[in-house]
Amino acid sequence: MLLAQELIRKKRAGLALDQAEIQALVAGMVDGGISDAQLGAFCMATCFQGMTAAEGAALTLAMRDSGTVLRWDDLDLPGPVVDKHSTGGVGDLVSLVLAPMVVACGGFVPMISGRGLGHTGGTQDKLEAIPGYCTTPDLARFRRVVRDCGMAIIGQTADLAPADKRLYAIRDVTATVDSLPLITASILSKKFAAGLDALVMDIKCGNGAQTPELAQAQALAKNIIDTANAAGMACSALITDMSQPLAPSVGNALEIREALAYLRTDTCPQRLHQTVLALGTEMLLLAGLADNTLEAQVRLLDALHSGKAAQVFERSCAALGGPLDLLAKFDDYLPGAALQQAVFAPAGFYLNKMDTRAIGLLALQLSTTGQGQRDTSTGLSQLAELGQLMEGDTPLAIIHAVDADSLALASKSLLAACTFGETAAPRPQQLRQSMRGGLRPTAPALTTETV
């Protein structure tokens, strides 16, 4: 019998764990043989010492095999099974709009999403702002919704990679979120368990990302691509900017509103739209649904502007318990905050820098109630963008809060998180780099391309 404390001691000393040792650790995560304290110690040792490629692959596959691994071939789906995953950001609602666009182009998207991690928002938390939406269906219902609607976005269930569900929670409270091997294993174990044919990664880079520096983001992208290819999955990655919130809204219900407005083509925030098209193009190319970039973009834009993508989202939402008419009446269904107030910056100055991590934490604080619960109605909307001139009638943002005290604190915190200047600083490039592995698992050579 392998003792958890001895394996932790070995990892703390910087020694590599073999496959059997990693499998024993993962088994302990699932059956309770390893305590929260021991799992936290393992995470911290891994954060400091890292893992070899072999260790990372063994951890990923052991976590995948800790629960059910889905297969789709028995459903005779008339298209490839493909997904996208983001490493997390602020105002990142891409999954909500990209999945139905890809489905409208012929793909099938069984998306297993996570909750917020640290200062970043979670897709599962956002969807729970929709009345009736079930983010934890049983696997039979999940498969049925994917078959009938083309997509289902759910949270992690007890059946799929249960080891990761526990590891995810421990990483969140032990400041080990940014460990590359733990990030890779967490992401890929769920994606492998979902039975994907192809995966596109959105690796965030900037002061609101888990990997703030470009070199960190590149290292994570390469690690994920290499691991995915080695295990038989086609994978590519885009490195995108997170030095400001991606969408003009931050907060669970507010981001759902923003996503639905985008799908209805009521609004089209430029950086969000650019990111959605870039990731969607990668998904269609990797899955064989388009032959070139132009064809992929034309198909995605048609899916959006024809209303097909919006219909896909609404059908999937209803199949998971949400309202049948959410698109037409989302203001009737989504909760609104008790107090709303605009915050204004010094007039005549440009918004030159944002502490995006602080803004993410601000949104988290706004949502936290006295009972330790989360209020889905709170957050920020109409956020200004970097390089924008702050004029007298242009708010920096509108704050949505549950009471006057949190409103006042949020106003001060938002202003403190922003830097203004008399001249405009250069705006960051939204799409930083693309990284592509072999489209076939047998050809995992990595190439890079700046976009």
Q: Is 222 a catalytic residue?
A: no
Determine the Cα–Cα distance for residues 74 and 146; give it in Å rounded to an integer.
Answer: 13
186 assigned to active site: yes
What number of other Cβ atoms are within 10 A of residue 45's Cβ?
20
The answer to whether 165 is a known catalytic residue is no
Catalytic residue among 84, 115, 119, 143: 84
Q: Of 60, 113, 186, 249, which one is the catalytic site residue? A: 186
Query: Active site residue: 11, 46, 83, 143, which one?
Result: 83
Residue 412 bears catalytic tag: no
Catalytic residue among 126, 143, 190, 271: 190
Residue 112's DSSP bridge partners are 154
Q: Annotated catalytic, 204?
A: no
Give me the residue label for tokens 């991590």: 357
Is position 66 annotated as part of the catalytic site? no
> What is the residue type of 69?
V
Candidate list 119, 126, 143, 171, residue with the active-site label: 171
Q: Which of 60, 66, 86, 240 is catalytic?
A: 86
Active site residue 85: yes
Residue 171 appears among annotated catalytic residues? yes
Catalytic residue among 46, 120, 123, 376: 123
* 367 a catalytic residue: no
Selecting among 85, 143, 374, 432, the annotated active-site residue is 85
Q: Which positions are annotated as active-site residues? A: 83-86, 123, 171, 186, 190-191
